[in-house]
Amino acid sequence: MTDSLGLNYELTQFSGEAPIFPLPETVFFPKTLLPLHIFEERYKQMTEEVLAGERIICIALLREGWEEEYLQDPPIYHTGTIGYLEDFTRLEEGKFNILLNGLAKVNITEMPSDRMYRRGEMRVIQDSSMSGNPQEEREKLLRQFRQVAEATDSDFPLEEVEQSNISLEVLVNLVTTWLPISVADKQKLLEINDLAIRSEIVREYLRQELEDLTSMDNLDFIIPDNPRWN
């Protein structure tokens, strides 16, 4: 079942409260899509109630050491992203496949919950206005990303992105989601409210990634073909 409400959802409609879905290995960024498989009882309940309500879920990253308290309420980072439940498929045993459309970055204040899942108050965080030329920065980022994507034979839909008119913010968030960096580093990027700085850091990650790939390619020239030469 699909609808397009998430694409047109106005944050003025948001009540300011939402379920919290903590994840250990995922940082969700605004204006990106996140597919999830729902199988735990508490999150099956959450999904049913979200579908009957305003269809908003907040994704938050679990802090280190979460494994010991997973069945309770392990600590989370208090900057997360709210997403609109854009699409869903009901599965056997009350399970779901869902698709979240990232709406906005939020500050999370957890609140008492009488449900099986956690809930919180959400304050929307806006990025600071960008000085300089966003289009010029977008082209720089796109150029560097193309170099890395081509070097890694990535299946990222690069041509589609290049031909689209997506904003610098969307591009930064898409590339950050794709980057092979730790979730801790992605969380740090999520918490930066200056788009220009975030883009600059992402370009530095891309530069390092391309440098590492180039170094690995150069190893082909120094590894002997014949093992007896070692």
- Answer yes or no: do 170 and 209 share one domain: yes
Residue 28 amino acid letter: F
- Structurally, how many domains does the chain consist of? 2
Residue 55 near residue 82 (C-beta atoms within 8 A): no
Does some domain include residue 176? yes
Does some domain include residue 53? yes
Predicted TM-score (pTM) of this structure: 0.87
Does some domain include residue 228? no
- Answer yes or no: do 111 and 160 share one domain: no
> What is the tens place of the pLDDT at every residue in 104-162?
999 999 999 999 999 999 999 999 888 889 999 999 999 999 999 888 877 888 888 88
Does some domain include residue 4? no
- Answer yes or no: do 115 and 156 share one domain: no
Where is the domain boundary, 83, 108, 125? Answer: 125
- The vertex-172 CA angle with 186 and 158, nearest 5°, equals 115
- Answer yes or no: do 17 and 121 share one domain: yes
Does some domain include residue 227? no
- Answer yes or no: do 96 and 178 share one domain: no
- Answer yes or no: do 121 and 17 share one domain: yes
- Answer yes or no: do 111 and 149 share one domain: no
Which pLDDT band, with edges at 50, 70 and 90, does 227 fall under? Answer: very low
Please give, one letter per residue, the 3-state secondary structure of the chain. CECCHHHHCCHHHCCCEEEEEEECCCCCCCCCEEEEEECCHHHHHHHHHHHHCCCEEEEEEECCCHHHHCCCCCCECCEEEEEEEEEEEECHHHCEEEEEEEEEEEEEEEECCCCCCEEEEEEEECCECCCCCHHHHHHHHHHHHHHHHHHCCCCCCHHHHHHCCCCHHHHHHHHHHHCCCCHHHHHHHHCCCEHHHHHHHHHHHHHHHHHHHHHHHHHCCCCCCCHHHC
CATH at residue 36: 2.30.130.40
> What is the tens place of the pLDDT at every residue in 62-116?
998 776 776 678 999 999 999 999 999 999 999 999 999 999 999 999 999 999 9
- Answer yes or no: do 37 and 95 share one domain: yes
How far is the C-alpha of 199 from the C-alpha of 197, rounded, in Å?
5
Where is the domain boundary, 125, 151, 174? Answer: 125
Shortest CA distance to 29 belongs to which of 93, 67, 79, 70? 79
> What is the tens place of the pLDDT at every residue in 35-60?
999 999 999 999 999 999 999 999 99
Does some domain include residue 6? no
**At a CB cut-off of 8 Å and minimum separation 6, what does 215 contact?**
none
- Answer yes or no: do 26 and 44 share one domain: yes
Where is the domain boundary, 78, 102, 125? Answer: 125
Does some domain include residue 7? no
- Answer yes or no: do 118 and 38 share one domain: yes
Per-residue confidence (pLDDT) for residue 161, from 0 to 100: 83
- Answer yes or no: do 82 and 17 share one domain: yes
Range of the structural domain that residue 141 is part of: 134-219
- Answer yes or no: do 113 and 16 share one domain: yes
Mean pLDDT computed over every residue of the chain: 88
Does some domain include residue 175? yes
How far, in Å, are 46, 94, 121 from residue 75 at the CA level?
19, 27, 16
How far is the C-alpha of 198 from the C-alpha of 196, rounded, in Å?
5
